[in-house]
Structure 1
Amino acid sequence: MERQGNLSINSDNIFPIIKKWLYSDQDIFIRELISNGCDAITKLKKLAVMGDYEEVEGEEYKIEVYASAKDKTLTFVDNGLGMTEEEVDKYINQIAFSGATDFINKYKDKAGDEQIIGHFGLGFYSAFMVADKVTIETCSYKEGAKPVYWECDGGTNYTMSESDDDIRGTAITLYLNEDCLEYANEYRVKEVIQKYCAFMPYNIYFINEDKEEEEAAKKEAEKKEKDKVIEVDTTQEDELVGDAPKKDEAEEKKEDATEEKKEERKPLNDTNPLWMRNPKDCTDEQYIDFYQHVFLDFKKPLFWIHLNMDYPFNLKGILYFPKINTQYDQLEGTIKLYNNQVFIADNIKEVIPEFLLLLKGVIDCPDLPLNVSRSALQNDGFVKKISDYITKKVADKLTGMYKNNKEDYEKYWDDLSPFIKFGCLKDEKFCDKMTDYMLFKDINGKYITLPEYLEEGKEKYENKVFYISDEVAQSQYINMFKEEGMNAVYLTHNIDNPYITHLEGKNENVKFLRIDADLADNFVGEKLTEEQTKEYTDKLSEAFKKATGNDKLVVKVESMKNENVSSVLTVSEESRRMMEMMRVYNMGGMDPNMFGAGEAETLVLNANNKLVKYILDNPEGEYKDMICNQLYDLAVLANKPLSAEKMTAFVKRSNDLLGLLI
């Protein structure tokens, strides 16, 4: 008997509210309806385990999605436990609408779905985001249960009656509105299923109803044509030889089975993803294949961590450390978050520590406290524990590799270091765990820790740590260091500038200096007297300022051991870091020099060099200005590129100097 009802709410229509607040991404109605089908199957299997339901031998539990562009429909069918009329009334008609009036009054002025957590318990209602009408045909597993038909057009009225379909399970049909007909398209639906349902626990099949109808009609026509031909042939044979033997039954069955196998549908999903398996049962090839398939990255990952935890919360997953080819600020990883094999979102920062977002991987946590739209999280304390656990597992993996397989750790270090340094900046606990395992590649290509560097050079440069940021630009300084048996470390990533500032804060006596920041005492030979220093500095300052036209040029004179080095440019570490920080933050496009934050450069001249001596001895020399400019430009070139104008002048001057030689 048909029964009609009215949804007891005082609003004209509840569904616009659902559309506005409950779901931010229209595609997810497919995820919700398939998830509900999976839940129905899971519940039925649990009942079977408890002895309350006897499973049908050989039955495949599955979800089927039917689409028809012709009929403008999309149907979701599961063979789960189904519903009785009472259950439909309870779960469909009452639960979602029981508190609707209070809900509307309370949330009508709110703008975010985070305020409506818990008010709706069924993703079924997301169907009304795309459909003008929704119908349900369901039959419960319970013995004697009558099948139920339910229909609602998105207004406040519904219709319920007995259905003719008594097959256990539920079929939900969406009659798509004109704006959402894309969801009747095979490729569009498959695209969404691949995104959200690629690893759901039961097979998902897609059926294009229009194509099936066309193929069925085609086969029927072919069969009729074939039957006509057989009938003619049989008649002719009967006339000649009487009754012909019929085709062997086994042969016919074999042909039918072969035909059926050809048409066998393949599921769109993998019901047993790699992260759900025991790590002991997974091979390196499987990890690599999974990585390349899911993240469409043809490169092999460096290594991975398989997370597998049952207590105090359920969490599984795989985190991959990708091969890094770019500077740190161009990196972008992807951590896919799942809930019971249902895709939720990429890179949810509440669950994934920020620094781990540089990685690629999947995390599945059935215990996540999600809201109904699964787009936001509840219970910050619980989520923080999950985040802390993931951080701990990553730190354990890295420190374990250092202790047990240092060769691999060093091999991966250049790729790992930006990620680990970012982690140290963002997470104090992670930083504390990694302190003793941070490596620096030194001037000789050897990997050492900070304490090892400081111990090695305590007599030469006390607590100063010299570093190289550009091997090519700073090659002159590198050679000078090597000649003196001094060491420096490579810090070439953008993350290194804030990282060394962080290290200086944690180690008060340690000071990082770029290799060109200061001329270490180790390069200086016999010290000049105060009188000599003043005399030489005055003379050379005047000569170089006049020749270069730069009144602000700072000149320093030293007596270097290597007389072949004529001039070196040093840049104040403090001012250079300030400049880099201002470039990073742009500072509104203001000129750093307005605040005295320009790079403080000093031209260091070697009193033992012949060219410098020539300038000192020939204050009015014919080629003095030419030599001054050349020495200055050479010092700048060893530090950074010249401007286009200055490079043109440098090339011309170099040619002129070569002309003088001949």
Structure 2
Amino acid sequence: MVKENGNISIHTENIFPIIKKWLYSDKDIFIRELISNGCDAISKLKRLSSLGEANICDDEKFKITVSVNKEEKTLKFTDNGIGMTEEEIRKYINQVAFSGAEDFVEKYKDKMDEGNDIIGHFGLGFYSAFMVADKVEIDTLSFKEDAESAKWICEGGTEYEISSSEEKKERGTTITLYINEDSADFLDEFKLRTIITKYCSFLPTEIYLENENKPKEEAKYETKKNEDGTEYQELVQPEEPKPLNDTKPLWMKKPSECTDEEYKDFYKKVFTDFNEPLFWIHLNVDYPFNLKGILYFPKLKHEFEATEGQVKLYNNQVFVADNIKEVIPEFLLLLKGTIDCPDLPLNVSRSFLQNDRDVAKISNHIVKKVADKLTSLFKNSREEYNNFWNDIQIFIKYGCLRDEKFYEKIKDVIVFKTINDEYITLKDYLEKSKEKHENKVFYVSNEQQQSQYIKLFKEYNLDAIVLDASLDNHFISFLEMQERGVQFTRIDSDISDVLKSDDEDSKELNSKLEEIFKSSLGDKISKISIEGLKNEETPAMILISEHSRRMAEMSKMYAAMNMPAGMFNEEKTLVINNKNAIVKKLIYLYEDESKKEEVKFICEHILDLAKIANNELTPEDMDNFIKRNNSLLGKIVL
């Protein structure tokens, strides 16, 4: 071969500074790109062999080797794939952005399957090497018979040198990077291993890492013992190097071929999470697009852990990025999983998605499969589904708030835990309670704080659902908009008609009681209401307006924003039970002028008892309550 000098053909001036600084969001991506190129070279050779256009041995082992030499400051990427001729170097290397993979697919498109496994489509991956290297060499030998090896050298400008390669004797390609001073950290073996594991853990060709500065292990004799105790020497071969990747990730298999243990082991391996997932969804679609993957529902230690999901996006088994919202809807990012979609229209850096209608279709399909899985669990494994609910409710509720179409798909499988430890759908709750309080859904947000009200509900065979997650305030507002006529009411904001006495109340009696309590309590409570309750033991209850409480909670939530905290206050009503014996006695005491202080004493005590039942005594209220109790005990004893 005649030695040749020339200029690289480019269509944009000064493209190398752009490639070096701006083509890729992360500098370490050059490792992914060069390994992917090697994987492509091997895939092309296998394809040609299957078409009868290349001769390879049946037992040939294909691999990619990354070799690091810290002393010489070099990184080598070697594959035993298709190789290149001198003409192919000119065509695919000297013309920036002329993609060899794209050209190969075009040439053989009529002889290839739908889901071809050629990774590269952009032609710029090779030039990522210049982000870290002052000089790049290619030594290559084509698979073609009588092909002559070729060497290409470029030092980061538009000039190159091409000649015969004296080093390359076997088919394939070796790319040698002479690492610059700013990128010397890429010569660290541990860092290289970490990067390869990050991006290439599931490439379909085995990847090996070799440190040229370490002496190679050789076979050596070791002393062994026979059963009778006599010693002998045995030649022990060094351990075979192991690939850094898994060439057949679980998502590439059919769901019917995978066991539960395999799913769990894969989850632990990929996400370094030794807690078993609750369940998973295996995506396996060939039409109208190619999509494979596994989405896991993790078991959460607490609801805030739901923000720590991780969905890894792959393109032909090459890692692209975590949590890409264009493909994975935001609410699904609370999950953990792997998604592999060769049909994704990535940009030249493979890091970001180009706008494309197919992306929306893929995203919608993933949402549909998640909804189908939840529906299937609900219908076929209801007890298991109920057991999962506390862990998956945050994800489902957040998903409904973010995507109304998702809500429409799963609204019939949303369940609520009741105060009787049962799990019930909204539809079933409304049907069960329609005779007692039609379209009104009573709920509990704090079982301890609202225990008095829960006790009353249970006593009169009423049910309420438990909504104690931080998201529930938004979720019930959402449900009220979606399900017209349905009203969510906290258990301490209204009194069910079932709890009220059937006896007809005396207006005169009620008016008198209202006067007594208002004059005795003053501004200690904003509103007073007189009701007859079936439970005569309870002298009074505090009700908190549902609307005002929601507004007050919203005010607190957005205090850091423009809405000032405390802009809205909870509107509280003291409900006096006119069926209670103590309350009835107050009317007679009030008529006696000498008993006015005692009446005030009792009214204040009733108010504090109601507050205690609602866990809302202030330190000052508690101090007064204790003093009043001490005084009461003194009167009884003395």
Q: Name the TM-score, length of structure 1 as normaliser.
A: 0.85
Residue pairs, 1:257-336, within 5 angstroms: 258-259=236-237, 262-327=238-303, 330-336=306-312
Q: Which residue of 1 aligns with 2:532?
A: 559
Match of 1:26?
27
| 1:530 corresponds to 2:533 | no
Matched residues in 1 for 2:625 and 2:210: separation?
A: 73
- Matched AA of 2:160: Y
- For residues 20-419 of structure 1, the aligned pairs below 5 Å read 20-96=21-97, 121-164=123-166, 165-212=168-215, 215=216, 255=235, 258-259=236-237, 262-327=238-303, 330-419=306-395
Closer/same/farther in 2, CA of residues 629 and 146 from structure 1, 3 Å limit = farther
Query: Given residue 517 of structure 2, which amino acid in structure 1 is its aligned partner?
Result: L
Local SS of the residue matching 1:94: coil
Give the corresponding residue for 1:448.
424
CA contact 1:488–1:515 (8 Å) conserved in 2 = yes
Q: For 1:93, what is the secondary structure of its paired residue?
A: coil
Query: In structure 2, do the counterparts of structure 1 residues 12 and 414 end up closer, same or farther at CA, with 3 Å as the change threshold?
Result: closer
Alignment correspondent of 1:239: none
609-618 vs 144-153, which deviates more?
Answer: 609-618
| Residue 468 (1) aligns with residue 444 (2) | yes
Is the Cα contact below 8 Å between 2:9 and 2:94 reproduced in 1?
no
CA–CA distance in 2 between the matches of 1:646 and 1:185?
A: 67
Partners of 2:92 and 2:98 within 8 A in 1: no
Whole-Å separation in 2 of the counterparts to 1:656 and 1:127: 86
The 1:459–1:94 alpha-carbon spacing in structure 2 relative to 1, beyond 3 Å, is same
Partner Cα distance (2:414, 2:37) in 1: 48
Cα distance change, pair 470–25 in 1 and its aligned pair in 2 (3 A) = same
Shifted more, 623-632 versus 481-490: the winner is 623-632
Q: How many Å separate the matches in 2 of 1:335 and 1:97?
A: 32
Query: Do 1:592 and 1:598's aligned partners in 2 also have CA atoms closer than 8 Å?
Result: no
Q: Which residue of 2 is the match for residue 245 of structure 1?
A: none
User: Structure 1 residues 466-475 or 4-13, which shifts more?
Assistant: 4-13
Aligned to 1:485: 461
SS in 2 for 1:460: coil
SS at match of 2:319: strand
CA contact (8 A) 1:540 1:616 kept: no
Residue type at the aligned position of 2:152: W
- Find the residue that maps to 1:390 and give its secondary structure: helix
Q: 1:650 to 1:206 in 2, by over 3 A?
A: farther
1:503 Cα shift? 1.6
C-alpha distance in structure 2 between counterparts of 1:428 and 1:390, whole Å: 15
Give the Å deviation of 1:90: 1.0
Q: Does the 8 A contact of 1:26 with 1:129 survive in 2?
A: yes
Is 1:540–1:615's contact at 8 Å kept on the other side of the alignment? no
Residue 430 of structure 1 and its aligned partner are, at CA, apart by 2.1
* Deviation per residue, 1:473-527 (Å, 9 max, x gap): 1111000111111111111212222222122112221111011111222222134
User: What is the alpha-carbon distance in structure 2 between the residues aligned to residue 659 and residue 84 of structure 1?
Assistant: 107
Report the 3-state secondary structure (helix = DSSP H, G, I; strand = E; otherwise coil) of the residue aligned with 1:210.
Answer: coil
Other-structure match for 2:559: 586
Report the 3-state secondary structure (helix = DSSP H, G, I; strand = E; otherwise coil) of the residue aligned with 1:471: coil
Alpha-carbon distance in structure 1 between the residues aligned to 2:262 and 2:188 = 33
How far apart are residue 632 of structure 1 and its match?
A: 2.6
Query: What residue identity is the alignment partner of 2:148?
Result: K
How far apart in 1 are the matches of 2:160 and 2:69? 24
- For structure 1, which segment, 337-346 or 454-463, has the greater mean C-alpha deviation from structure 2 after superposition? 454-463
Distance, in Å, in 1 between the alignment partners of 2:305 and 2:616 is 23
- Pairwise CA distance, 1:328: 5.5
Q: CA, structure 1 residues 654+15, in 2 after alignment: closer, same or farther (shift >3 Å)?
A: farther
1:612 alignment partner in structure 2: 583
Is contact 1:543-1:625 (8 Å) kept?
yes
Q: Judge conservation of contact 1:328–1:494 (CA < 8 Å) in 2.
A: no
Query: What is the CA-CA distance between 1:455 and the residue it aligns to?
Result: 1.6
The residue matched to 2:299 in structure 1 has which SS? coil
445-454 vs 456-465, which deviates more? 445-454
Distance 1:659 1:85, change over 3 A: farther
> Residue 541 of structure 1: CA displacement?
1.5
Q: Which has the higher helix share?
A: 1
Q: How many residues align?
A: 601
Of 605-614 and 127-136, the range deviating more from structure 2: 605-614
CA distance in 1, matches of 2:367, 2:385: 18
1:394 Cα deviation after fit: 1.2
* Cα distance, 1:319 vs structure 2: 0.9
1:661 is displaced (CA, Å) by 4.2
Letter in 2 for 1:300: E
What's the CA shift string for 1:319-349, capped at 9, x where partnerless? 1111133225853211111111111111111
| Corresponding residue of 2:18 | 17
Over 3 Å counting, the alpha-carbon distance change for 1:46 and 1:601 in structure 2 is same
Distance 1:320 1:72 in 2: 42
Deviations 1:611-659 (A, max 9, x none): 4345544454445455444433332333344444444444454455445
- Match for residue 600 of structure 1 among 561, 566, 571: 571
Q: Is contact 2:283-2:294 (8 Å) kept? A: yes
Query: Aligned in 2, Cα 1:185/1:571: closer, same or farther, shift over 3 Å?
Result: same
Q: 1:84 to 1:617 in 2, by over 3 A?
A: farther
Unaligned stretches of 5+ residues in structure 2: 100-119, 223-231
SS in 1 for 2:93: helix
3-state secondary structure, aligned to 1:588: coil
Match of 1:635 among 602, 610, 613: 610
* Matches of 1:629 and 1:393, distance apart in 2: 59
C-alpha distance in 1 between matches for 2:121 and 2:39: 22
CA distance in 2, matches of 1:72, 1:624: 93
- For structure 1, list consecutive stretches of 5 or more residues without a partner in the other structure: 99-117, 227-250
Match of 1:430 in 2: 406
Tell me if the contact between 1:12 and 1:156 (Cα under 8 Å) persists in the aligned partners: no
Residue aligned with 1:569, SS: strand
Tell me how far apart the structure 2 counterparts of residues 271 and 585 of structure 1 sit (CA, whole Å): 49
Superposed displacement of residue 460, structure 1: 1.0
Contact 1:516 1:569 in 2 (8 A): yes
Amino acid of the structure 2 residue aligned with 1:24: S
2:541 corresponds in structure 1 to 568
TM-score (norm 2): 0.89
- Cα–Cα, structure 1 residues 122 and 8, in superposed 2: closer, same or farther, change >3 Å? closer
**Could you report, residue by residue, the CA deviation over 1:398-432 in whole angstroms, capped at 9, with x for unpaired residues?**
11122222222222222222222222222233222
Moved more, 431-440 or 272-281: 431-440
Identify if the C-alpha distance between structure 1 residues 615 and 21 changes in structure 2 by more than 3 Å, giving closer, same or farther.
farther
SS state of the match for residue 606, structure 2?
A: helix
**Residues of 2 paired with 1:660 and 1:341: CA distance?**
82
Identity, % of aligned pairs? 54
Distance 1:577 1:59 in 2: 69
Would you say the 8 A contact 2:530–2:575 is kept in 1?
yes
**Residues 77, 176 of structure 2: 8 Å contact kept:** yes
The letter of the residue matching 2:507 is E
CA change 1:140–1:653 in 2 (3 A) is: farther
Question: Does structure 2 retain, via aligned residues, the 8 Å contact 1:139–1:168?
Answer: yes
Q: Deviations over 1:538-566 (max 9, x none)?
A: 22012112xxx63x621222222212212
- The alpha carbon displacement at 1:195 in A equals 0.8
**Aligned equivalents of 2:10 and 2:365: distance in 1?**
45
Identify the residue that residue 543 of structure 1 maps to in structure 2: 520
Q: Distance in 2 between matches of 1:88 and 1:625?
A: 99
Could you tell me how far apart the structure 2 residues matched to 1:647 and 1:539 are?
23
Question: 1:86 deviation in Å?
Answer: 0.8
1:86-142: CA deviation from partner (whole Å, max 9, x where unpaired): 1111111113399xxxxxxxxxxxxxxxxxxx9952311111111121111111111
State the secondary structure of the residue aligned to 2:213. helix
Q: Is the 8 A contact 1:29 1:123 kept in 2?
A: yes
